[in-house]
Structure 1
Amino acid sequence: MKKIFYLPIALLIFEITSCSTQNNKVDDTQVTTGDTTTEKNMYAAMSINDTIRTGDSVLLKFTVYNPTDSAKKFLKWQTPFEPLLSKYLDIKDEQGQEVEYKGAMAKRMMPPPADAYITLNAKDSLTAKVDILKGYALSKPGKYTIEYTSESISSLKANKTVAFIYK
């Protein structure tokens, strides 16, 4: 029971420390990424092959962009920049049924240590790939969509969804 009591406090502390590292400068410049328009700040874009054969790796490409004029940091937890240690993607079939996450679930200490952050230089990008078959029970052919759901952890906004056909 005591552990449950400390979780909201730890999350509150994390949110406060995350907000204190953000740049508060207002910039009206817009950056368009796929189907999403974001403020000129760090953001992520996902891409995947349109068609993937059953049994082949299902590689999701996750690229973080920093279009700003200064170096920025993001938390690599719950992103492809670390092994699959938690569920940070929603993968659904055409009927809206969610593909089960079968990977590891890491417990994290708060606040995150300094080595949990990645610094991205101004006007630079960084790409990681993840084979979603290593963490998700994708087994039957069909059309699937993938949505990144851990913006609140990593502070990265990603394009809404990517889709692929698994045959």
Structure 2
Amino acid sequence: MLKLKLIIPAVLIVLAGCSQKVHNTTSESKSDSLYVVLKIKDIIKTGEKVTLNFTIHNDQSTERSFCKWHTPFEPLMSKYLDIKDENGNEASYKGPMAKRIMPPPADSYLIIKPKDILSSEVDLLKAYQLEAGKKYTVSYNSSSISGVKATNTVTFRYTK
């Protein structure tokens, strides 16, 4: 019984730290005001970079911030994209997987001014094993970490 009295508060503290989604610079806590739009070329030939454009929008009239972890606004550190072929098979992730402390420190956040955007690009071949002749769908999977809402998926054909 004594162990439960110690374990339950510890679990609650860990869960409370993990639930921090967005660090706002205003008193509002509406995390869905920041959203990401993904873009990629329809057809990409082997030998070319497979460049995904990742743009975060702030449509609000106040500045917002988001955690750059699990986004292309930091060096590649995690699998923040789901990439599946037309049969639903997931592309193998070959990039690094960082373990992080929670909650994220203040320097892990980037600010977006009102009505502004921030864009970054990532070459998918640096972290994912893609096969020529397949059509892929890409989606962002880390909204709960960054606080940025995913709004779309993109598809492309990887050809020889």
Q: Structure 2 length normalisation: TM-score?
A: 0.84
List per-residue Cα deviations over 1:74-98 (Å, max 9, x = no partner): 0000011112211111101111100
Structure 2 CA distance, aligned partners of 1:83 and 1:59? Answer: 15
**Equivalent residue in structure 2 for 1:105, among 86, 90, 97:** 97
Would you say 1:51 and 2:51 are equivalent positions? no
Would you say 1:10 and 2:18 are equivalent positions? no
Give the CA RMSD over aligned residues.
2.2
**Structure 1 residue 139: Cα displacement:** 2.9
Structure 2 CA distance, aligned partners of 1:69 and 1:89? Answer: 29
Q: Structure 1 76/144 Cα, relative in aligned 2: closer, same or farther at 3 Å?
A: same
Match of 1:143 in 2: 135
Contact 1:143 1:165 in 2 (8 A): yes
Q: Structure 1 7/133 Cα, relative in aligned 2: closer, same or farther at 3 Å?
A: farther
**Structure 1 residue 106: Cα displacement:** 0.4
Structure 2 CA distance, aligned partners of 1:110 and 1:141? Answer: 41
Match of 1:35 in 2: none
**Structure 1 residue 11: Cα displacement:** 4.0
> Which of structures 1 and 2 has the larger relative contact order (alpha carbons within 8 angstroms, sep 6+)?
2
Structure 2 CA distance, aligned partners of 1:20 and 1:128? Answer: 20
Q: Structure 1 8/52 Cα, relative in aligned 2: closer, same or farther at 3 Å?
A: farther
Alignment of 1:15-164 (within 5 A): 15=19, 17-18=20-21, 21=24, 23-24=28-29, 41-164=33-156
**Structure 1 residue 19: Cα displacement:** 6.3
Contact 2:22 2:146 in 1 (8 A): no
Amino acid at match of 1:23: E
Structure 2 CA distance, aligned partners of 1:115 and 1:24? Answer: 19
Structure 2 CA distance, aligned partners of 1:88 and 1:69? Answer: 28
**SS state at 1:46 partner:** strand
- Could you tell me which runs of 5 or more consecutive residues in structure 2 were left unpaired when the two chains were aligned: 1-7
- Could you tell me which runs of 5 or more consecutive residues in structure 1 were left unpaired when the two chains were aligned: 26-38
Q: Which has the larger radius of gyration?
A: 2
Structure 1 CA distance, aligned partners of 2:13 and 2:72? Answer: 27
